[in-house]
Structure 1
Amino acid sequence: MQSLFRDSCGRSALVLHSTPLQSAIAGASVHMGTTERGEQNPLLASPSHDEDERQEEKEDDPVQLGLLSRTLSESKELWRVAGPSIFSRVALYSITVVTQAFAGHLGDIDLAAISIATTVIISISFGFLLGMASALETLCGQAYGAKQYRMLGIYLQRSWIVLFACSILLLPLFVFATPILKLIGQSSAVAEQTGVVAIWLIPFHLCFPFQFTLQRFLQSQLKTAVIVWVSGGSLALHMLISWLFVYKLRVGLVGTALTIDFSCITMFGWESMIALGFLAATGVRVANELGAGNAKGAKFALLVSLFSSLVVGILFCTIVIAFNKKLAMIFSSSVAIINMVNELAVLLAFTILFNSIQPVLSGAAVGSGWQALAAVVNIGSYYLIGVPLGVLFGWFLSFGITGTWAGMISGTVVQTLILALIAVKCEWEEEARKAKTRVRNEAGLIGDI
């Protein structure tokens, strides 16, 4: 991948032109301080850089445009990132759904093993590495907005080194899956089979550092078409291979219907991929605007993303409430399971609604570089409020799965309110100044090496 930009001396500026050694040295030597070199654009020759910046800020200032036109313009930019991001996340999630669906035709133990391996072991790896990769949404997004294109490749190579090292540290989770599951009380048969599956999922796990970082690297530059093609091709190939193994190679018999948990989690999971797509899009748009020094544009990008995601969330709430029985039939023909899904439809709808707002606010935090603050809010809301209330309602007050789910929603509500308060209180002008200074300092330091 090469950038078409050249510097003022005519040298080629490659997006990935730095060596990993240079990247690692640069990462270790980062310090504060603005250099004269950091104040210049190293890639695009511009005789009057400050004047161009003022003109761009004026053109991008939402106040200079009408409400309708600027909303449509921002929506176009938002969906340019959100659309491919939603598709790629749906495709990735669907790979595990397809795997579990085909596993249902192999037997109960096989289904349980695949489910535990994908929803527990892989989810831990997924969440940990995805959270670390979110730093690229801040760094690459702000670098692209500040037109420091050379820094994109530097950040990408650093992330490869750090995330791959972390993925190696997570390997014991896969290698020792069987004893870990037995230790926490899982049956021996399921634990043994899950351990076998976990070993074969190691290559999948080792792909995450490169997949997650490359996606954010491309999203920050609005080069999202390749993400769509790769995600769609991977899903189609996975479905074909699964079909060949189950039906043509005769590795199992037709299984039983999937359980109620899988039904509800899958419907919620597919919708969540859309909300998470808005998270990525919001992070990119806010980071781009802050990197360009456009505080008003960053705030407006957040508002448009929040409105768009909320509209989609309301649409899915309506679909779930209106067609919950038919949706349940996709996964099971059991009358008991269909009726139970119907009872949980209202809770599922509320979950979808709040999870259409919360990821957008988290995306704003990522784009602004508030990952540490957002992590404290997320962990506190989940483990200090959601989980205790879920245990209280579900077990001690005997409300069962309804009470447990209601308790978890309470945590999500608190999380959403706190993130919203942080966004409202944010000094966007100050954040824009910090973002621009950070990128220029980094660019100056790399240029000195």
Structure 2
Amino acid sequence: MSSGDGENRDGTLTAPLLYHSDDVETTKLIEQNDDDEKTLSVRVWIETKKLWRIVGPAIFSRIASYSMFVITQAFAGHLGDLQLAAMSIASSVIVGFDFGLLLGMASALETLCGQAYGARKYHMLGVYLQRSWIVLFLCCVALLPLFVFATPVLKLLGQPEDVAELSGTVALYFIPLHFSFAFQFPLQRFLQSQLKNSVTALVNLAAFCVHVLLSWLVVYRFRLGLLGTALTLNISWWLIVVGLFGYTVGGGCRNTWTGFSSEAFSGLWEFIKLSASSGVMLCLENWYYRILIVMTGNLPNAEIAVDALSICMSINGFELMIPLSFFAGTGVRVANELGAGNGKGAKFATLVSVVQSTAIGLVFWVLIFFLHNELALIYTSSKVVLDAVSDLALLLAFTVLLNSIQPILSGVAVGSGWQAYVAYINLGCYYLVGVPMGLLMGWVFHQGVKGIWAGMIFGGTAVQTLILSVIVMRCDWENEAAKARMHLSKWAGGGSRNSV
């Protein structure tokens, strides 16, 4: 029995990847124009359209999700300084650790679903989604002690007793949010691999609007206090899960969702290994800048430095939603092309993504240079803090520029299935080079926050970006395409197509 259009009994392809009208249009234009420059411009235009079908909605979705946490902290701030500190620590430290790990583990689906979709193994996307739910749910259960014992952990880390106590209580109320990650992140990547990011964007928009309304009602109308504010975040994120799940099983993914399947329980070990390496790879990146803030907080008279650095990291966090969306788009495009056996297509998709993301990064780099005195005005009116942020603007500009390149190279790694390899690179560059360099510049050479940041950026992020650039440039893409076909057989788990 054939498993899909354009596929023989032995699983080989007889039709090209994603035979869209765009591809037909490209073929006709290329045949009509022998000029190489015209052919290149057509290819760039078509690849750009495919890329931005993912990147555009992804930028909106990520900003909406990020803003929900910012809004929750803002409403908590209206309740008092202690409430703001408790909400910030619970969401940034406890949930932040949890968020980074589970998001990274779910990124395994970008490799698996992307390559399966490119190879037209459509039914396997639903199987991979269910495997990811199983693995991430079990991980959530294993991480529960982090929420249950948040108070003693925070006290151990040196937090004041009143802040640790209230933060621990808030963390307990965030347990439903914690479990929502196990279902939402896989659903997002499942839909993303099929170029259905617009669905995710619309669902995030609806949840964002509900979240703003709920937060206002809880704080100003019902006066339910800090714990009520925490519950609004649970409701909003579970609304996203319900919306994405309803679309998936309600007929929005007829080819890729064929019902719950017993295959989800086969091949779990290979899936766990890839998920774990994906989680470690992204966690090492996610925690790196959190370490920067912790190190700065240990400097003498660090209050102004921490305030200035926090503002810079907030600005960087919002801008980072753009390259992270390119990370997602690159991972999907590379995985699709490799799954279809098109190594040259994967190489071209990488080049287009890197060039466009870098161009956007250069625009922000220039803006930060010209607006360095006004950057912090939306956060504070303190002259001392404004001057401190202006003094850090140069490092912020180069951080933004490097972050416009590095996530795209990580996206190539995810699309190609190199997560374990890149995890070792991240460990070496960030924690064996970057952190010691930051300590050396900050304390030994007495350069303060600027020294710590410069050491970690140029000693860690820049070195990691350089290494990944060399690996991508030297990559044998046709060989990677051949490996992708072998990986599809291994990751499939060898089960039957039984739906239950």
Structure 2 length-normalised TM: 0.76
Q: Once the 2 structures are TM-superposed, how far is the Cα of residue 245 of structure 1 from its aligned partner? A: 3.1
Q: Once the 2 structures are TM-superposed, how far is the Cα of residue 250 of structure 1 from its aligned partner? A: 5.0
Q: Aligned residue for 1:240?
A: 213
AA partner of residue 431 (structure 2): Y
Once the two structures are overlaid, the 10-residue window that deviates more, 195-204 or 97-106, is 97-106
Spell out the pairing of 1:31-42 with structure 2 (5 A cutoff): 41-42=2-3
Aligned equivalent of 1:260, options 308, 323, 341: 308
Q: Aligned residue for 2:185?
A: 212
Q: Aligned residue for 2:361?
A: 313
Spell out the pairing of 1:152-301 with structure 2 (5 A cutoff): 152-249=125-222, 259-301=307-349
Cα distance in structure 2, aligned partners of 1:155 and 1:444:
10
Q: Once the 2 structures are TM-superposed, how far is the Cα of residue 437 of structure 1 from its aligned partner? A: 2.9
Q: Aligned residue for 2:483?
A: 434
Q: What are the ranges of 5 or more consecutive residues in structure 1 without an aligned counterpart? A: 1-7, 9-40
Q: Once the 2 structures are TM-superposed, how far is the Cα of residue 114 of structure 1 from its aligned partner? A: 1.3
Cα distance in structure 2, aligned partners of 1:146 and 1:46:
9
Whether the 8 Å CA contact 1:283–1:363 is kept in 2: the answer is: yes
Cα distance in structure 1, aligned partners of 2:385 and 2:147:
32
Identity of aligned residues (%): 54
Once the two structures are overlaid, the 10-residue window that deviates more, 359-368 or 311-320, is 311-320
Cα distance in structure 2, aligned partners of 1:159 and 1:373:
21
Give a deviation string over 1:152-176, Cα, whole Å, max 9, x none. Answer: 0110000000011001111111110
Higher relative contact order (CA 8 A, sep 6+): 1
Structure 1 length-normalised TM: 0.85
Q: Aligned residue for 2:282?
A: none
Whether the 8 Å CA contact 1:121–1:198 is kept in 2: the answer is: yes
User: Cα gap change, 1:241/1:429 in structure 2, threshold over 3 Å: closer, same or farther?
Assistant: same
Q: Once the 2 structures are TM-superposed, how far is the Cα of residue 185 of structure 1 from its aligned partner? A: 1.4
Query: What SS is found at the alignment partner of 2:158?
Result: coil
Q: Aligned residue for 2:474?
A: 425
Q: Once the 2 structures are TM-superposed, how far is the Cα of residue 178 of structure 1 from its aligned partner? A: 0.5
AA partner of residue 381 (structure 1): C
Aligned-pair Cα RMSD in Å = 2.7
Whether the 8 Å CA contact 1:100–1:115 is kept in 2: the answer is: yes
User: Cα gap change, 1:281/1:50 in structure 2, threshold over 3 Å: closer, same or farther?
Assistant: closer
Once the two structures are overlaid, the 10-residue window that deviates more, 357-366 or 186-195, is 186-195
Does residue 412 (structure 1) correspond to residue 455 (structure 2)? The answer is no
User: Cα gap change, 1:244/1:327 in structure 2, threshold over 3 Å: closer, same or farther?
Assistant: farther
Once the two structures are overlaid, the 10-residue window that deviates more, 350-359 or 94-103, is 94-103
Cα distance in structure 2, aligned partners of 1:244 and 1:263:
28
Give a deviation string over 1:415-443, Cα, whole Å, max 9, x none. Answer: 10111111112111011011123325655
AA partner of residue 153 (structure 1): G
Query: What SS is found at the alignment partner of 2:494?
Result: helix
Cα distance in structure 2, aligned partners of 1:348 and 1:442:
41
Q: What are the ranges of 5 or more consecutive residues in structure 2 without an aligned counterpart? A: 227-303
Q: Once the 2 structures are TM-superposed, how far is the Cα of residue 268 of structure 1 from its aligned partner? A: 0.6
Number of equivalenced pairs: 407
Whether the 8 Å CA contact 1:106–1:251 is kept in 2: the answer is: no
Whether the 8 Å CA contact 1:259–1:332 is kept in 2: the answer is: no
